[in-house]
């Protein structure tokens, strides 16, 4: 089983946004393809899956019944 946890806090996101162009404008500044890492969008309704990381949740051990 796995859960999604937020990868970056608000302060980290603000910092990365100062270093990275938004995806909508990226093509105007470079021809390099996205090679992974941090990316962001100007639109509020888009949340990249890279913002989250999958964390394994250990299932509880089965309990033995008396009987």
* Rounded Cα–Cα distance for residues 7 and 32 (Å): 25
In a domain, 14, yes or no: yes
In a domain, 65, yes or no: no
In a domain, 19, yes or no: yes
* Rounded Cα–Cα distance for residues 15 and 31 (Å): 23
Would you call 6 helix, strand, or coil by DSSP? Answer: strand
Report the pLDDT value the prediction gives residue 11, as an integer from 0 to 100. 92
The residue segments making up the domain with residue 23 are 2-56
Report the pLDDT value the prediction gives residue 36, as an integer from 0 to 100. 76
* Rounded Cα–Cα distance for residues 45 and 55 (Å): 24
Report the pLDDT value the prediction gives residue 1, as an integer from 0 to 100. 57
Q: Is the pTM of this model over 0.85?
A: no
Report the pLDDT value the prediction gives residue 53, as an integer from 0 to 100. 65
pLDDT by residue (tens digit) across 5-53?
777 788 988 898 898 888 888 889 888 887 777 778 888 787 666 666 6
In a domain, 61, yes or no: no
Domain count, the chain: 1
Q: Which residue blocks in 1-67 are alpha helix, DSSP H?
A: 10-19, 23-29
Report the pLDDT value the prediction gives residue 15, as an integer from 0 to 100. 92
In a domain, 11, yes or no: yes
* Rounded Cα–Cα distance for residues 50 and 36 (Å): 9
């Amino acid at each position: 089983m796995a859960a999604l946890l937020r990868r970056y806090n608000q302060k980290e996101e603000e910092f990365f946004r100062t270093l990275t162009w938004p995806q909508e404008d990226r093509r105007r500044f470079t021809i390099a393809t996205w090679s992974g890492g941090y990316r962001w969008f100007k639109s509020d309704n888009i949340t990249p899956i890279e913002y989250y990381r999958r964390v394994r949740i250990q299932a509880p051990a089965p309990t033995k019944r008396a009987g």
